Structure 1
Amino acid sequence: MAATLPGLRRLPALFATTFACAFATQASAFDAPAAPDAPTPLDPIVITGQRLDKAGTVTVLDAAALTRQGVTDMQNMARYAPLVSVPGAASGSGNVWDGAGNTGFNIRGVEGNRVGLDLDGIELPEAAPKPDASTLNGFGVGRDYVDPETLRSVTIQSGTAPAGAGAQGLGGNVSFVTKAPEDYVSETRPTYAEYKFGSNRANDMRMHALTGAAQSGALKALAVLVHRDGKELDSTGSAPLNPDDWDSDALLAKLSWTPWSGHRFTATIDAFRAQHDREYDNKQGALYPEGATQAGRTRRDRFGIDHLYQGAGAWFDTLESRLYIQDSEVEDITTARYITGGQPVLRHIATSFDNRSVGLASNASKRLGSHDLAYGISVEQTDTARPWREDRTVVNSGAQQVTNKNRMADMRSLRFSAFARADVALSSWASITPGLRYNWRELEPNSTDNYAIGIPNAGRELKKETDSYLTPSLGLTARLAPNLETYLQYSRGTRLPTAAERTGTYDSLSYTGTGNAYAVIGNPNLDKETSNAFELGLKGQVARGLRLHAALFNTRYKNLIEYASQPADPVNYPNITFGLFRPENVGSARTWGGELTLDADLGQWNPSFKGGRLTLASGVQRSKAKNSRTGLESELASTLPKKTSLIAAWIDPAQRGGISLAAVHTRAKQAERDVIGGVNTTFFAVPSSTVLDLTGYWNINAHASITAGVYNLADKKYWDYASSRSLPAATTAITAADIERQARPGRHAAVTLKLVY
């Protein structure tokens, strides 16, 4: 188990005392009068990272913000952002062979593969649904492919994004950008070295990170090495937790070469490894007397060559191109003693989700008088596989049965996309931003070995297919004052069915070989999901020292995909009489709501409060979903509850440090009947919560700094709605225990020490 720093539970008192002493001598700095207001660029505001320099709702977290929020994985990236959450697959929440981890982002009530994720413009692997659970929005494989310590920034686009490069999610997208040599070295500082130690009591995490950078002439180099280890995430719940000993390693290496003016070539190696040793004690029962153990392994490797051109060309002022290979695998190996037919059987199950991509992308920008033009193309080939192998041994006789039943067919996709977007100045105060993106995809089976062995007709349905679509966007912006703008934008989103949705399968005939059975199969005839998103907003400086972002949004989704029960098919599937399921375009939905962020620079109002800031961020939404097969209507199950964050912060004008106190209130919410998924269960009513976080940082000197935080300061018991909404109500001891295990950590401290040479 990971060791922890001594005395961290006494940190709150030490925390306040340390910062009071460290900044007591700075009082004289407040005596200077505040500078008068003057028109300034609409730069991002601090604390929440809400961008004010572009239309739409965009949140940006830089490396410092990630550290100060105690981010160790995706989970806490959305700690203070309204209508953004990070759902996860909890340990032991599915079948014994299912893994665990964060599965992506929920943005304005849309989640899973409907929200795009990309790293340096390269899409990360999709979330893998569980066909055996008959749901496409429940995942048995996490998407924890990135270590936050290697990131320069995280950008969260709320709502369907305008036409552009990178992942284009149906309801939003999240872009990760890795660090670069230019972040650390220059001609005036040719070398840089850093060691960072971090500890987080929430999961007894320890981190060691080394960063080194150097510049010599036309060459620049960067290397970041990160190691973490820890245990299962703590909980304020009363149920025993499933043990999870884990460790991870990350490497980011970049070599940049500028052979002549305006040209830069960068070679990148980006690697991530994680290992989990899990014990599913909650699975103990009549079928699994001892529960189950699981060894989970995650691997992602990326190799790339980038070229950046900056100059006054005829067709572009900047041109950025990249060639890359990305290879990833999530493997879970589960071992358990199983009782079937009154006799014990040893089950050894190996399942994985494998993705390998090769791609090329090129994006350009051009300034044409007072207008801006951006355009680009990309092409990518991806091979995807989801093998499954089970080795069963009857304990009493030693008889062995080996079953191969891949969860989907091995698939190869070839994708091409092109986009163009212009920012056209209509006058000195108004502009229009039209955009258009074209996507084309070819999807074909790579191999059907070990696929749907018990139901061969499912394999015969597979075919090579192509699809294409256009997604337009349009934005209107009007400047009401030097630093205040209003905007109206429209974006259309489209999501093609994934390979898992086309071919995902699970059936009981793979075991029995004969007799009647049930089956879950894919659907090669699925239509694409679409969205039409509108957003009206106001952002900028509304008064001296007060900046605002307010937005109203309305989005309509069509052709939503989910599993649906099928009528018996005695011709193609004569043995499937206990239930046949496959995904269909079953429904539509509409979401609407509003978001508000106010940021007050207190020093602008009173010189005595120089460095002080107050930030209020709040979001509320409503939704309505309809199942076109049944005609039933209800709220979209993934709709997020109202969330409000209030942050009081003080940043030393001399840049020696800062401190903040955040209060996050989330309204109580119980998911209604899931008409899209066809689930009639009464769900857990997630109670309201108010969570306090106290964080701060201190630049001790030029070579040392410390960042610390006490999270859930009042030690409240609460749940994350996005991760807990689908839990059944506590009507039995088992369901009550599942709810208790999902409670978030109580009061805990995190600290990071950075030493720089």
Structure 2
Amino acid sequence: MRRPLTAAIALSLVCPLAVLAAEDADDKSRQTTRYSLDTVVVQGRRSLNEDVITDQKSRAVIEQEMVRDTRDLVRYTTDVGISDSGRHLKGFAIRGVEGNRVGISVDGVSLPDFEENSLYNRYGNFNSSRMSIDPELVRAISIVKGADAFSGGSGALGGRVDYRTLEASDIVRAGNETGFLLRSGYASKNREWVNGFAVGYAGDAFETLLVYSHRHGHEMGSRGEGPYYQQSKSQHPDPSRRKQDSYLAKFSWHISPAHSLSLGLTGQLARNFTDERSYTLFGSQWREAEDISRRGNLQLGYAWTPESDWLASLKLDADYQRTDLSALNYKGGRNYVTDEKELGEVFDRRMHTRFKRLTFGMETLPLALGASQHTLAFKAFASNREFWNINYDTYVFSGVPSPQPAYTIQYPVNTRQYGFSLEDQVQWNASLSSRFGLRYDHERLTPQELNARCSTACTAEGRPAGNTFGNWNGLASVVARLNAHWALGATVSTGYRVPTASEMYFTFKNAYGSWKSNPDLRAERSVNYSLSLQGEGEAGGVNISLYQVNYRDFLFEQESITRTRNPYYEQCQIWGCAEYDESPVQQMVNLDRARIRGLEFSSHLNLAYYWPQLEGWKLSAQLGYSQGSLSSDNSLLSIQPLKGILGLDYHAPNGRWAVFARGTYLGAKKAADAQVVQNVYSYRNRTFSRVVTTYPYLNRRAALLDIYGYVRAGERFTFRAGVYNIFNRKYHTWDALRGINAHYGASTTNSVDREGYGLERFHAPGRNFSLSMEYLF
């Protein structure tokens, strides 16, 4: 199936080029533009005037593809992956970087970076997830590929993902003032039910919206199989029970045609209880973990849109966000007679953030300057973010709990930020437009007094000094419409990321390994260059993009080896003891430079253009490929392998039903692109040696087929269904494999035994289905 699929993708990419060229020649001969674009065709794609490479997912596309989570969002998107570490998803991977290097925002408010260090990452006692939002609350998702700090600020180093929540107009049908939506769905891949409702009112003076969604399900399924169920050689996913409640409330008051007030409130509470059968410590030790995430956002807004010759709007917005990431870990051994679990300790680990921001914005109407039109925008903002950790441990002796005093693993950090941005969108003439932007961010990170006791391992260096970051970023783009069908665009943009509190200030001192703070870290930087050619016509469309991203001051955890003389060497040398004790020391440093190059193709072909009897049929294809390198011997594991998608759609002329088929080709990760550097300890020589080796878990290529669609019964009821991995293919994704903790013997979670039996549980789900029903009235 692989070769026919690859050939079909190539063919569907090339066909629109020839057809659009023919249309162009036809237009020139007639000196008129014959064709108008059907909005259904370009839904969810870039328009000819967009200057930043962005994949748009409208509400219609989200519903059509039955997007339920982060994995579903990128299922039919090339050159975008997820950061997967087993129990915890840590966001997206775009342009060769992942996690905190890809920004995520909800209604313009950035979700906090996850705070994690490599010490605790090996043991899974903390909840290091990157927060997200339930797609049931979302009307549009923008996946921006490439550096975009001008719009996204810190974190948009390789790209960003923006979620926009529902509005009352999404629920209220045209011609009505009120609307009500009921929706229920099921996905077999994780046995998850989703139930929710929405009610909206849209009047002349007021608009209100209330949305609620409830999810409950289990662990993600796996096509893996085998007889082992315990420790790192377990071949089956750890059983889990998931539950999430999400809500959205909005209120708008149109005081007058020129003045309006808005209030928005959104939040979620998610719990995931996991029986970590793959937990590996020693003997019969066991662990059960409950990851809890809470998020609450409050937004207030005022807008003034006067009747003016030059001013379009003035806006004032206030944002408040509170997040809590917690992990409850229950651990113990087993009764040597009955083999029943016996609770020995409970670890309650919590990470908190509180964010406040005030933003002022102004935008003008198009202003004439000679033959050009300039639309100007100015924004100024000030914010404060607090981060702190608090932990509560309880030890159980003979069934009696003994709570311990609260403690922390690092100093709380307060981040103050202010900045401004200027933007000029220029229409030079009917064929040429451009966009220029400049932004400045000033951020001050200040460690605070300890909020609880902290061990000598974390206070050995004392309270660290603060650090200030000043970052200028910009955007310059130009789009030239070559004719009615073709447009050529070029963009240069920059990005940056300020180090997290954990990267700068976490310390831990131990004879077997230490972690040093580094308050002098610099912000990571990136520059993105992209060139795109787009064509649209009645026959279809094509988009070809080439890009290069240069990264510098990449943060890297450097491991060095310290040598201290053994004070007992004279007494024990006769027994062969080492004269020097060697111990690894970890520290975050600005070390690496990186360069990523790649290309993306996408096309769609309306088959009715050739054969009128095929009305409603459409062929589409996407292809994404990238490669890159670091200045060190390591490889950037987050670079996505080759991915191609071939689609065949049919929309019934009456609009009552549609069927969509998607064939996906997932390329294999090459060994040359997965090199890692390790310090390997020799028990014979009692020394460490530096070794460059291939990452041990590489995925093979795979071809998949999905079919999904919908049926509308009347104007109010819609039934959707999809079958995925129809041929029940057994395969690994690269995102799942590169998230494995490859510290043999030094990791207790998300790890694989030396024989490789545990790789079975990392297989993607086999054949699975999704169902959804909604009623809108």
Show the counterpart of 2:379: 376
Task: Return closer, same or farther for 1:284/1:565 CA change in 2, 3 Å cut-off.
Answer: closer
Q: Which residue of structure 1 aligns with residue 29 of structure 2?
A: none
Whichever of the two has the greater Rg, that structure is 2
Contact 1:82 1:619 in 2 (8 A): yes
2:614 is aligned to 609
Structure 2 counterpart of 1:376, which letter? K
Deviation, 1:253, is: 0.7
Which letter maps to 1:157? V
Query: CA-to-partner distance for each residue in 1:266-312, whole Å, 9 max, x for gaps?
Result: 1111010111111101115525x142011221111111112233344
In 2, distance between residues paired with 1:567 and 1:290? 32
1:497 match: secondary structure: coil
1:751 counterpart residue number: 771
The reply to whether residue 272 of structure 1 matches residue 272 of structure 2 is: no
Amino acid in structure 2 at the alignment position of 1:130: N
2: CA distance between counterparts of 1:216 and 1:379? 34
Q: Give the letter aligned to residue 377 of structure 1.
A: A
Q: CA RMSD in A?
A: 3.1
In structure 2, C-alpha distance between the alignment counterparts of 1:440 and 1:614, rounded to whole Å: 48
- The percentage of aligned residue pairs carrying the same residue is 21
Matched, 1:173 2:160: yes
Query: Which residue is 1:483 aligned to?
Result: 485
SS of equivalent residue, structure 2 residue 613: helix
Q: Are the aligned partners of 1:387 and 1:406 in contact in 2 as well (CA < 8 Å)?
A: yes
Equivalent pair of 2:457/2:508 in contact (CA under 8 Å): no
Q: Is the 8 A contact 1:408 1:451 kept in 2?
A: no
Alignment of 1:311-460 (within 5 A): 311-313=306-308, 316-337=311-332, 346-366=344-364, 367-369=366-368, 370-393=373-396, 402=404, 406-450=408-452, 453-455=455-457, 458-460=460-462
**How far apart in 2 are the matches of 1:347 and 1:52?**
60
1:636 alignment counterpart:
636
Alignment-derived partner of residue 31 in structure 1: none
1:281/1:210 Cα in 2 relative to 1: closer, same or farther (>3 Å)?
A: same
1:588 aligns with 2:601: no
Change (3 A) 1:659 1:186: closer
Q: Distance in 2 between matches of 1:439 and 1:115?
A: 18
The normalised TM-score by structure 1 is: 0.85
| Aligned residue in 2 for 1:132 | 119
Shift of 1:153: 0.7
Q: How many angstroms apart in 2 are the aligned matches of 1:318 and 1:229?
A: 43
- Change in Cα spacing, 1:345 to 1:180, as seen in structure 2 (3 Å) is closer
Which of 101, 104, 125 in structure 2 is aligned with 1:117? 104
User: How far is 1:319 from its partner?
Assistant: 3.4
Which amino acid in the other structure matches residue 408 of structure 1? Q
What SS does the aligned partner of 1:354 have?
strand
Distance in 1 between the 2:541 and 2:197 partners? 38
Q: 1:579 to 1:168 in 2, by over 3 A?
A: closer
Q: Deviations over 1:484-521 (max 9, x none)?
A: 2101111111111111211234455xxxxxxx453223
Deviation per CA, 1:695-715: give whole Å up to 9, x if none: 101111112111111111111
The match for 1:532 among 518, 527, 537 is 527
CA change 1:86–1:311 in 2 (3 A) is: farther
Aligned to 1:661: 661
- Show structure 1 runs of 5+ residues with no match: 1-35, 91-99, 509-515, 628-632
- Whether the aligned pair in 1 keeps the contact of 2:58 and 2:140 (CA below 8 Å) is yes
Alignment partner, residue 206 of structure 1: 193
Alpha-carbon distance between aligned partners in 2 of 1:174 and 1:211, rounded to the nearest angstrom: 24
Q: CA 1:741–1:47 in 2, change beyond 3 Å: closer, same or farther? A: farther
Change (3 A) 1:411 1:729: closer
- Comparing 576-585 with 481-490, greater Cα deviation is found at 576-585
Describe the superposition over 1:349-372 as per-residue Cα deviations: whole angstroms up to 9, x where unpaired: 111221111112233332223222
State whether residues 727 and 738 of structure 1, in contact with CA within 8 Å, keep that contact through their aligned partners in structure 2.
no
Helix, strand or coil for the counterpart of 1:481?
Answer: coil
Partner of 1:649: 649
Deviations 1:63-98 (A, max 9, x none): 2222222322112101111101122220xxxxxxxx
- Aligned-partner SS, 1:501: helix
Pair 1:560 & 2:563 matched = no
Aligned pairs (5 A) from 1:253-264: 253-264=249-260
Q: Which residue type is aligned with residue 624 of structure 2?
A: G
Say whether residues 1:545 and 2:539 are aligned partners. yes
Instruction: Report Cα offsets for 1:147-203 as digits up to 9, x if no partner.
Output: 110001110001112723566600100000000112233782101011101011111
SS in 2 for 1:87: strand
* C-alpha displacement of 1:215: 3.0
Structure 2 counterpart of 1:672, from 671, 674, 687: 674
Amino acid at match of 2:555: I
Residues of 1 paired with 2:461 and 2:40: CA distance? Answer: 52
Give the distance between the partners of 1:704 and 1:743, measured in 2 at CA. Answer: 36
Could you tell which deviates more after superposition, 451-460 or 597-606?
451-460
Aligned to 1:28: none
2:139 match: 152
How many residue pairs were aligned? 691
Correspondence for 1:698: 711
> In the TM superposition, what is the alpha-carbon distance from 1:117 to its structure 2 partner?
0.5
- Displacement, 1:38? 3.7
- More deviation, 596-605/158-167: 158-167
Aligned position for 2:71: 75
Moved more, 302-311 or 652-661: 302-311
Further displaced range: 404-413 or 528-537: 404-413
The aligned amino acid for 2:653 is: P
User: Over residues 664-711 of structure 1, what are the superposed CA-to-partner deviations in whole Å (9 max), with x where a residue is unaligned?
Assistant: 101111452235999846321201111111010111111211111111
The answer on whether the counterparts of 1:384 and 1:411 sit within 8 Å (CA) in structure 2 is yes
Quick one: structure 1 residues 735 and 269, their matched pair in 2 at CA, closer, same or farther if it must change by over 3 Å? farther
Seen in structure 2, the aligned counterparts of structure 1 residues 650 and 441 have a Cα distance that, compared at 3 Å, is same
Say which is worse superposed, 55-64 or 691-700, in terms of deviation: 55-64
Tell me the distance in 2 between the aligned counterparts of 1:374 and 1:467. 25
**Could you say what secondary structure the match of 1:745 adopts?**
coil
TM-score of the pair, normalised by structure 2: 0.83
In 2, distance between residues paired with 1:156 and 1:427?
29
Please tell me whether the aligned partners of residues 104 and 127 of structure 1 are also in contact (alpha carbons under 8 angstroms): no
User: Residue 456 of structure 1: CA displacement?
Assistant: 5.6
Write the deviation string for residues 377-424 of structure 1: whole angstroms up to 9, x where unpaired: 22221111232333334559x796847553432111111231112122
Q: Which 5+ residue runs of structure 2 have no aligned equivalent?
A: 1-31, 226-234, 335-341, 565-579, 680-689, 745-751
Return 723-732 or 485-494, whichever deviates more.
Answer: 723-732
In 2, Cα distance between the equivalents of 1:311 and 1:67?
37
**Larger relative contact order (C-alpha < 8 A, sep ≥ 6)?**
2
Equivalent residue for 1:725, pick from 721, 726, 738: 738
Conserved? CA contact 2:149–2:156, under 8 Å: no
State the alpha-carbon separation in 2 of the partners of residues 428 and 146 from structure 1.
40
Match of 2:81 in 1: 85
Q: What is the distance in 2 between the residues matched to 1:676 and 1:478? A: 49
For the residue of structure 2 that corresponds to 1:637, the secondary structure is coil
Preserved CA contact (<8 Å) 1:75 1:102: no
Question: Residue 263 of structure 1: CA displacement?
Answer: 2.6
Q: Is the 8 A contact 1:699 1:705 kept in 2?
A: yes
Aligned-residue offset at 1:735: 6.1
Compared CA separation, residues 426 and 41, structure 1 to 2 (3 A): farther
